[in-house]
Structure 1
Amino acid sequence: MTAALVVVDMQEDFCPPNGSLAVTGARDLAPTINALLAHPGFTFRVSSQDYHPRTHISFASNHPAPNNQPFSSTITLTNPAPGKHGETKPQRLWPVHCVADTPGAALIPELDASRIDLFVKKGMDERVEMYSVFADAFGNRPDPALHARSVDYDLEGELRARGVTKVFAVGVAGDYCVKCTAVDAARAGFESFLVEDATRCVDPGEGWEEAKRELRQAGVRIVKSDGPEVRGLMEGV
């Protein structure tokens, strides 16, 4: 049994007080996440960062009025993969956030980044949203045929190369990027867990309740940082 911890998007733009897409309580997660990073039961530790071009399709300001209101407006995404251009899905629009090489894209200093083994940048293709660290909104994983790749590492391949069987997801936001990462981990065949007290949500009410329904349907287990699933990682350490 080998377990990986995936710390999702603990970045300045997602954290109060000044983040452009701040998630309430996100910065306060650092002590809990740092304790998990220090846990000897995790043999591989990954941190992801949204790393968008300014022209990213999810930014409300890149669309004409009146359908360009952050949080409330939606547009239609088209799958950028060759041969898949007829595939579409709705996309919620967001404020400009985590633009590549800006302070807002940086990991927060409270995070103990010295314990991270792999840093993954995602959401780099302007044409498509990418919540999950594994794949874009259409399930496309890293592929040179896409030309403008959304992510700089094939996380599934990296985990398999290290013999990982369990994936624990934490960070922000629980109802978007953390949820999608945990669901994709389960779909890839890993035993997948989301650590509830180590995540915060854009919508901590009905949005999180719906996310939990999706997680459970996908086979993801929702656990606590001090629960038996994490404590059990000490067996054999």
Structure 2
Amino acid sequence: MTPSIKAALIIVDLQEDFCPPKGSLAVTDGRSIAPVINDLLKLPWTLRVATKDMHPKDHISFASQHPPPNNKPFESSITIANPHNPEETQTTNLWPDHCVAGSPGSELIPELDVSRLDEVVEKGQDKRVEMYSAFCTPFLNPKIVETGLAKTLKEKGVTHVFCVGLAADFCVKATAIDAAKEGFETVVIREGTKGVEQGDEADKKLAQELKENNVKMVSVDGPEVAKVRDLQ
């Protein structure tokens, strides 16, 4: 990284339904990352983006939309086909209803300093497909949904992407991997995320999976974040 970098902060899905105490799909200690993220928001980013799951009531990932006995949230999974190419498929978990558009659970948590955000990107609106990444659905041949985030980042001249938010091992991971695929030098800031799976082993597994996809797990006190801080 050089002093001429242009860095973006992407805050993934820091929403009520992903946070205790009332979230339907709450990540343990999900709210606890807000102070770290608010401190990061004060740095001289080229772009500060928050993402939001924004599902229709009948989204395919909701266990409630499938018949028993294979419709148990967290336990059951389904195989989804690309609506325009049945040979391209994805297996995904089934979840409790969450982040339904217009519901309190879809709102960004009040602890997040939204006054510093430049953009809010909504995702997951197509009921036919799962969408963890803030860039696009996993289907590529053809692509089904793109949010336009990659285009926005490139128009701003962004070179480096820093990811935080929820959940580390699902939407943060998918967003970071897609950022790297789009050509951005990409990192996940460990202290700014919480995963569904937590603990040292979960951290090691996630860091390795990110590394295999050209994404680095870094510390908020590490040299990568320091380079952004030095742009002040």
TM-score calculated relative to the size of structure 1: 0.91
Q: Report if aligned partners of 1:20, 1:96 keep a CA contact under 8 Å in 2.
A: yes
Higher mean C-alpha displacement, 209-218 vs 70-79: 209-218
Q: Which amino acid in structure 2 is aligned with residue 28 of structure 1?
A: S
Which residues in structure 2 correspond to 1:47-58 (within 5 Å)?
47-58=50-61
Deviations 1:181-232 (A, max 9, x none): 1111111110000001100001114554432221000111111112110011
Is 1:158 the counterpart of 2:157? The answer is no
Is 1:67 the counterpart of 2:70? The answer is yes
Is 1:16 the counterpart of 2:20? The answer is yes
Q: Which amino acid in structure 1 is aligned with residue 80 of structure 2?
A: L
Pairing partner for 2:162 from 138, 162, 168: 168
Q: Report if aligned partners of 1:70, 1:95 keep a CA contact under 8 Å in 2.
A: yes
Q: Report if aligned partners of 2:179, 2:186 keep a CA contact under 8 Å in 1.
A: yes
Deviations 1:124-177 (A, max 9, x none): 000000001011122479x7xx5xxx56x3110000000000000000000000
Q: Report if aligned partners of 1:51, 1:100 keep a CA contact under 8 Å in 2.
A: yes
Q: Which amino acid in structure 1 is aligned with residue 79 of structure 2?
A: T
Q: Secondary structure at the match of 1:29?
A: helix
Shift of 1:236: 4.2
CA–CA separation in structure 1 for the residues paired with 2:82 and 2:93? 15
Which consecutive aligned stretches of 4+ in structure 1 deviate over 4 angstroms post-superposition? 205-208
CA–CA separation in structure 2 for the residues paired with 1:140 and 1:61? 29
Shift of 1:65: 0.3
CA–CA separation in structure 2 for the residues paired with 1:235 and 1:110? 26
**Structure 1 unaligned residues grouped into runs of 5+:** none
1:31 counterpart residue number:
35
Q: Report if aligned partners of 2:88, 2:141 keep a CA contact under 8 Å in 1.
A: no
Q: Secondary structure at the match of 1:175?
A: helix
Number of residues of Structure 1 aligned to a counterpart in Structure 2 = 227
Pairing partner for 1:216 from 201, 206, 211: 211
Q: Report if aligned partners of 2:78, 2:92 keep a CA contact under 8 Å in 1.
A: yes
Q: Which amino acid in structure 1 is aligned with residue 174 of structure 2?
A: C
2:92 counterpart residue number:
91
Q: Report if aligned partners of 1:174, 1:208 keep a CA contact under 8 Å in 2.
A: no
CA–CA separation in structure 2 for the residues paired with 1:161 and 1:56? 32
